[in-house]
Structure 1
């Protein structure tokens, strides 16, 4: 399921203490504290992990069940994923789960993978939210209703999710590599399941699956972020310890994939312009030490710009892009390599080249520099994950599915202890063509077959038994998520060239430092006709300078576990940095070199254009991309001379091909400047030192082109419905927009925001549009609406979207327009108003607990002079709204007579 909004349950259930579960409560037993992860256990077999972080203003409750698509039998393909959807319906004690979640504000999700299923909720930290979430998950564990009437609607939603994936060539290719490579093991089956099984499974069958696996002895509960540990343990005792341990024995799966007998080959033929070559190799389980060595090897092979495969294939423009994926799994897994091939390349010849390069992997003599570079990148990723507590707790889901959460620490230790001989060993062991899925079968004598190493539960238990981990890190100081506290910890100023800056003094976990800078560039005359040039320039800033090569820049950033990202959006060059306190000066020095001394090598320009155009070629027949592009062109019919002109997908490809190094250099020399920009840095930095680094980086960066904000033109939309046929596509899309004049400081803005929340945006799938199309009729997997109301101009719009089976096109259009018409005719109810006021307020509070939101608020203050207090004022205005004001705003700005709709899909399907 997608990330969804949640809410306040006023119904605290008591049914969990019925006579069937009348055993006494027990306190969770402390097991260990491994690097801040505190493990407890209950007599019924449930594991509990507490990860406190007082610097957070949010908390997460994440429950992981050791069941996934691997556990599905004949006729059950997709059952684990379908059940995940059903558990958001209702329980015997709570009733409508989505309604209860919708009132709380925050975000929630459920996900299914090969070895596990999880459910999590992220809320603002409070004892009430903690208690409710634990109560709800305990009830959902054993009291889900799983009604046939709900299943009749939900199966088509899941089927639509399946169909969306069928439109994606990359996803189709990956699934076919896995299904071809695996003969017996369920890792060869798609987690989302078989379309036919999804359609035909009945509620009683689904219930048997649920009652077998959704039990305390098959679950790990995680609570992380800012919370009271004593209260958490009490609530866990109250609601989970009373659940009895089942008498059944799960036993686990015992299928072991045999060694592959020879290279496998398959070919897919579908209506699409995107060319892909893929290769898969059977590899190791996550518990195996080989997994760390293989992860390093993948970095050595594919990283940009130092990777061996990257240099020989992408650098030489044989393919446009390369990436790999190796899932974290319980049993021996796979590595998947994806090679994107431009349309003008012969696929047969390129396949031969790719195979030849893969054949070199086992015989290559890797260097200590290769290993050092790979370890730096892997350790950066590990530290980044650990120092974001909320995501860290959710990320444990995969590790638990792989056998035990402590495997994450062992993996880190294994990465740190890697030797060059480990890289050579795994390259020689796994990278054999008879262990590969890409080509044809070839008989051969004396094959040295690859037998995977199996890890049983008792072996993993022995591996992690007694593991202590490292010394606990210093906990960051608490930081209250409030505007008053943000102001208290904010330092503002100007650099010598006029650039504005903000410094937020907040101690982040691991002493992390984040920054976002917006450099506002150019004017209408100087930017005319340079959209493609500007985007390519931004993408190339990290491709090398007069002082350092691209490889040297990337190596230094990886060694410091840091990153710099740049992109151009309109008149804004957006720069994001992610680093640590001790490396902040060096990272800023690298950024200064990029901004002052960029070199733009010809080969990097060619690679960037090729990679971008290969991606665009893959969009040429994608319904979503086509519809989105066409809708923009219909709603904003600018002439080609305007900087706001929306080029077609093919025009974008053609424009990119025309970009030259001279144009990029000219844009860089004349347009890049910081005097009209602003930026915000968050972290525990000394304000004086941090300002000095900003001055070194941006203080002398001035543009030759004078900045003047270009205002968009208002085009009044008129009713239009357009169909676009995309043959042989399993999924279709409906997109719509209508325009009106409004800025965010307009008196009607709060009322229109809340009207949109009720109609299509707010709550946990409880707004009218998703409730009708997804929950009631089951004809769309994803549906909703959103507002686009700017800060500095009045060109605003209301928009809707829906994903659908092509055969449901008429039903989706009718339901969508009917719900809009009902809202306009009868308005909303007081109950809807009250519920969405609450979820809106809680959602904003959750957002205020994120570092990115704090940065964005300060940047908007610096650039647009929007007071920080306006964040609270906006919520106050929403909370004071009357129902008549919300209904009036809806009727004033939303009109079916102004709605442009674009439908794209294979509507000839029967």
Structure 2
């Protein structure tokens, strides 16, 4: 008979014998006990209440070991409950009404008993010389403790000292604390990052009722496995188990499963621990799949290849090279994604930097120096030897099975063995290549520090005590209400044109805190004179608060603070906009400061380089941003203007080239040619003296004219061809859909009100069609929208829409978007939709006029356009009078899906 036939026959015999054993035992099973399966001498049974029972009979040693594994650990704790699983382990040994002193009973019977808690499970175990009476008593105690433990406040108070001492014992080990700190850094959300023993404040302040609720929630037969191994009588033992555990009721609540999983780590993390005592230590953690995953076997073998002594690579590269005193490696076999750990202990005089470099180079250098066949076989033999030693020891096998249970199923104990046996070099090398990488690493470093300096210990504050001496200042005088109707705004607005052409709109009104909002716009240049100046214009605006008017950058900041003033400056396309917020008493001085910055910029060279670096960094951050990429694709598609024209949509490279080319001489020349206030508008809203502010503006900006003529840059209508533009953005978990259509409308068109309301119902309002379908009904997007970028000059406005979504939902989002647009065009909006939308849109327009900053911007725009608030009133009236027929007709006249340009940006690669 060949070896293959012998192995096949041996396996068949074991299978048949196992089946016969299970069948034979099933014939004599106690009531309520069901035989489930038998694997390599281990028989599984199940009680009606869900308790899983494993019997591992072995008469070779005259001892019996009983292990109860409850599937609850620190992973199952909620906020404020850390340490609760471990605390319950202690409390179960405080007794039940029938057994008030378990430890005395253990001693009397010669039971070596204890319990342990970890992330996925809590164990209660005892080993003793085989004795039916003792076995039966211990089974009865476990069943009693599972549901009848006292968990009293008195016992909790006395046990707290013990638990606290256990905490302090752990705190004395620098390496143990380093491991905990490193795990906390490695896990962003998952409870594997919490110490099983818990946060000291959680444990010391635990609420007894919450602790009891945690006990009732998790200590239940369908959440536990009872393992009996060693010498015992299986039929009698099953009968006793049924007698004591069978009466426990099955919980009506489903088992609690925590949904949290950390995302893939996307960059190396590090932790440094400084404490007194010990020697330097290094620890590197790498995320692994769960213990049940096929790749975990390769990770276990890799831990031996790298961390074993003396054959492991870390020993050879660090210990033998005298960079460390000792090294180690291993894995944490957990039910959910765990970690591999590797580290080194150093002698006091050894170089931490050199050891760290060698440690990481060895761990992350397996791509360069792959695992050899000899290393794999040595590690495989070592792992299998350890497995066989555990399996052959009745006292160890119960614990080993317990860890497999915590990882998901006791049969994983055997499956892992088979996976290690079947491992190939390709398996091991692939797992090393995927897992032992920089982005997946958390590095911990312990540096002994004789006298560590620490911040004060955190303490809670008695808020009531803090407020006892508080005496509030007198309440501010109430601000009278302001009517934001266009008619009232128009009646109270003062408009002035200064001698040199600057226009002012001043709306004084009481405000809370005497706040004043102002907007200043400088308009300059022509399409021809501004050609090639886009970055010069933008960077000059960014330089204006970096020094000017005889003040340094810091002096400007100090002056703004003294004036309680906020300032924002930006420029684009021949318009510089200054937004200003100040207070009544400082308004005139704030205007004077702004004028001095604009008229006398210092333009220091170091500030230019800072602005340049910031601009380049901003461009770099947009290069792989889906929204920026989609917007750029739309802007460039069909754009008819050449490079250099202010209407040309520059690529990221073109923008970066322009930023790098800007010089101080160009900035000074641009300021000399274009800056002036002859074509400027200034609008202010708030609590100010109108006469004093007008005089301040005239003093600050009067007579300031630019050599270059000004003419608005025209933007005539053009129609880019319809297209679907897709751009890949690797490693971005959010994708973007952006849609545009250019429409031959201006905000003076007869269809302005109707098309605005149609767009509001389509994608702008909080109850819009796109929102209800894509966000609420299909749940595909956090945000979806539509808008109209209205032109106030040419009949050339842009309608746009968009959504953000997961790349995998691209087709569904596109389909839903297209269907809703088509439904709006085909079916139109109902009477109820139009009526509700009219009220909502008018409310938003009233809200906009009630916000002083936006109102100041609107007044400044009206100055430039030669409009008054009567136009706003006319639009309100037109919206209020709209009928569904008018709205639907306007939408159908101007919106055409056949003309859409769609841009999609995201990581659309197939997984």
TM-score normalised by the chain length of structure 2: 0.52
Cross-structure match for 1:720: 723
Cross-structure match for 1:563: 566
Counterpart-to-counterpart distance in 2, 1:791 and 1:639: 24
The correspondence for 1:709, drawn from 709, 712, 734, is 712
Q: Return closer, same or farther for 1:73/1:439 CA change in 2, 3 Å cut-off.
A: closer
Contact 1:261/1:449 (<8 A) preserved: no
In the TM superposition, residue 725 of structure 1 has moved relative to its aligned partner by 1.1
In the TM superposition, residue 654 of structure 1 has moved relative to its aligned partner by 1.3
Counterpart-to-counterpart distance in 2, 1:854 and 1:583: 20
In the TM superposition, residue 558 of structure 1 has moved relative to its aligned partner by 1.2
Cross-structure match for 1:797: 798
- Is the partner of 1:527 in helix, strand or coil? coil
C-alpha RMSD over aligned residues:
3.3
The correspondence for 1:496, drawn from 499, 515, 540, is 499
Contact 1:748/1:889 (<8 A) preserved: yes
Cross-structure match for 2:294: none
- Is the partner of 2:517 in helix, strand or coil? strand
Cross-structure match for 2:476: 473
- Is the partner of 2:445 in helix, strand or coil? coil
Counterpart-to-counterpart distance in 2, 1:897 and 1:746: 23
The correspondence for 1:454, drawn from 453, 458, 465, is 458
In the TM superposition, residue 512 of structure 1 has moved relative to its aligned partner by 2.0
In the TM superposition, residue 802 of structure 1 has moved relative to its aligned partner by 0.6
In the TM superposition, residue 466 of structure 1 has moved relative to its aligned partner by 4.9
- Is the partner of 1:843 in helix, strand or coil? helix
- The answer as to 2:688 corresponding to 1:685 is yes
Cross-structure match for 1:778: 779
In the TM superposition, residue 480 of structure 1 has moved relative to its aligned partner by 2.0
The correspondence for 1:602, drawn from 605, 627, 639, is 605
Counterpart-to-counterpart distance in 2, 1:622 and 1:566: 25
Encode CA deviations 1:846-872: one digit per residue, 9 max, x unaligned.
Answer: 222110232123212211012202212
- Is the partner of 1:477 in helix, strand or coil? coil
In the TM superposition, residue 260 of structure 1 has moved relative to its aligned partner by 7.7
Counterpart-to-counterpart distance in 2, 1:545 and 1:438: 48
Counterpart-to-counterpart distance in 1, 2:699 and 2:284: 55
Q: After the TM superposition, which of the residue ranges 583-592 and 260-269 deviates more from structure 2? A: 260-269
Alignment of 1:710-789 (within 5 A): 710-762=713-765, 764=766, 766-789=767-790
- Is the partner of 1:600 in helix, strand or coil? coil
- Is the partner of 1:787 in helix, strand or coil? strand
Alignment of 1:503-902 (within 5 A): 503-545=506-548, 547-762=550-765, 764=766, 766-902=767-903
Counterpart-to-counterpart distance in 1, 2:180 and 2:500: 60
In the TM superposition, residue 545 of structure 1 has moved relative to its aligned partner by 2.1
Encode CA deviations 1:771-825: one digit per residue, 9 max, x unaligned.
Answer: 1111001011111111111112221111011101000011111111111111111
Counterpart-to-counterpart distance in 1, 2:723 and 2:606: 45
In the TM superposition, residue 715 of structure 1 has moved relative to its aligned partner by 1.6
- Is the partner of 2:637 in helix, strand or coil? helix
Q: Return closer, same or farther for 1:651/1:185 CA change in 2, 3 Å cut-off.
A: closer
- Is the partner of 1:713 in helix, strand or coil? coil
In the TM superposition, residue 189 of structure 1 has moved relative to its aligned partner by 4.6
Cross-structure match for 2:448: 444
Counterpart-to-counterpart distance in 2, 1:657 and 1:490: 45
In the TM superposition, residue 486 of structure 1 has moved relative to its aligned partner by 1.5
In the TM superposition, residue 75 of structure 1 has moved relative to its aligned partner by 8.0
Contact 2:490/2:870 (<8 A) preserved: no
Contact 1:635/1:737 (<8 A) preserved: no
In the TM superposition, residue 687 of structure 1 has moved relative to its aligned partner by 2.1
Counterpart-to-counterpart distance in 2, 1:824 and 1:562: 49
Counterpart-to-counterpart distance in 1, 2:693 and 2:186: 53
Alignment of 1:35-46 (within 5 A): none
Contact 2:186/2:285 (<8 A) preserved: no
Counterpart-to-counterpart distance in 1, 2:466 and 2:524: 56
Counterpart-to-counterpart distance in 2, 1:847 and 1:743: 21
Counterpart-to-counterpart distance in 1, 2:624 and 2:526: 35
Higher relative contact order (CA 8 A, sep 6+): 1
In the TM superposition, residue 710 of structure 1 has moved relative to its aligned partner by 1.1
Contact 1:486/1:854 (<8 A) preserved: no
Encode CA deviations 1:381-427: one digit per residue, 9 max, x unaligned.
Answer: xxxxxxxxxxxxxxxxxxxxxxxxxxxxxxxxxxxxxxxxxxxxxxx
Gaps of 5+ in 1: 1-71, 78-178, 195-208, 213-258, 270-347, 349-436
In the TM superposition, residue 895 of structure 1 has moved relative to its aligned partner by 0.8
- Is the partner of 2:495 in helix, strand or coil? strand
The correspondence for 2:273, drawn from 261, 270, 276, is 261
Contact 1:260/1:450 (<8 A) preserved: no
Contact 1:781/1:804 (<8 A) preserved: yes
Alignment of 1:53-132 (within 5 A): 74=76
Aligned length: 506
Q: Return closer, same or farther for 1:792/1:181 CA change in 2, 3 Å cut-off.
A: farther
Contact 1:760/1:784 (<8 A) preserved: yes
In the TM superposition, residue 73 of structure 1 has moved relative to its aligned partner by 8.7
Contact 2:534/2:572 (<8 A) preserved: no
Q: Return closer, same or farther for 1:801/1:182 CA change in 2, 3 Å cut-off.
A: farther
TM-score normalised by the chain length of structure 1: 0.52
Counterpart-to-counterpart distance in 1, 2:775 and 2:627: 19
Counterpart-to-counterpart distance in 2, 1:451 and 1:545: 42
Q: Return closer, same or farther for 1:267/1:663 CA change in 2, 3 Å cut-off.
A: farther
In the TM superposition, residue 454 of structure 1 has moved relative to its aligned partner by 3.3
Q: Return closer, same or farther for 1:503/1:565 CA change in 2, 3 Å cut-off.
A: same
In the TM superposition, residue 188 of structure 1 has moved relative to its aligned partner by 6.5
Gaps of 5+ in 2: 1-73, 80-178, 195-209, 214-270, 276-281, 288-352, 354-440
- Is the partner of 1:525 in helix, strand or coil? coil
Q: Return closer, same or farther for 1:180/1:688 CA change in 2, 3 Å cut-off.
A: farther
Q: After the TM superposition, which of the residue ranges 588-597 and 642-651 deviates more from structure 2? A: 588-597
Counterpart-to-counterpart distance in 2, 1:754 and 1:690: 38
Encode CA deviations 1:101-121: one digit per residue, 9 max, x unaligned.
Answer: xxxxxxxxxxxxxxxxxxxxx
- For the pair shown, the structure with the greater C-alpha radius of gyration is 2
Counterpart-to-counterpart distance in 1, 2:180 and 2:529: 54
- Is the partner of 2:548 in helix, strand or coil? coil
Counterpart-to-counterpart distance in 1, 2:454 and 2:848: 49
In the TM superposition, residue 470 of structure 1 has moved relative to its aligned partner by 1.9
In the TM superposition, residue 908 of structure 1 has moved relative to its aligned partner by 1.2
In the TM superposition, residue 183 of structure 1 has moved relative to its aligned partner by 7.1
Encode CA deviations 1:515-536: one digit per residue, 9 max, x unaligned.
Answer: 1011111111210110111000
Alignment of 1:151-550 (within 5 A): 189=189, 261-262=273-274, 441-456=445-460, 459-545=462-548, 547-550=550-553
